[in-house]
Amino acid sequence: MTPDDYMRAAIQEAEAGMRGGRGGPFGCVIVRRGEVIARGSNQVTSTNDPTAHAEVTAIRAACRTLGTFSLPDCELYTSCEPCPMCLAATYWARIPKLYYGNTRADAAAIGFDDDFIYQQIPLPPEQRSLQMLPLLRDEAQVAFREWQNKADKVRY
């Protein structure tokens, strides 16, 4: 199969999920060594989970399939440029290559917040529309210091 074939599979996931009433028009496949190992479609409205985006559901499925939290030998194909959450999830999963169909501007044109969130991220916290207030940092640091000294931690 070619990258075009994998992208068509992601687009088919988007169409099937949307037409099946699972969520918005977003789909994803994850490929490892030429094989589709996971599929995902947007399931936000059907699961009442704002994090159930196509990329996140596919990453979760791939990690379950492979029994790992790291996907460094995989490629992600998604029907739309990922929102910031999905882009971050792709980085966290250590996926080195991502292909996308529609752009975030295309998503904004049909009513999705992707581009707005991208605009918010580089702003200083005090300028964002989401009110962010620091609280109890000294107490929160206890867990960080413990993690730093933990001999048997699993790095990710």
> Which positions are annotated as active-site residues?
55
Whether 44 and 74 have beta carbons less than 8 Å apart is answered as: no
Q: Which amino acid is at 134?
A: P
Whole-angstrom distance, CA of residue 155 vs CA of residue 103: 33
CB 25 within 8 A of CB 19: no
Contact 79, 56 (CB under 8 A): no
Q: In angstroms, rounded to a whole number, what is the distance separating the alpha carbons of residues 64 and 124?
A: 36
C-alpha span between 107 and 21 (Å, rounded)? 18
Cα–Cα dist 19/118, whole Å: 28
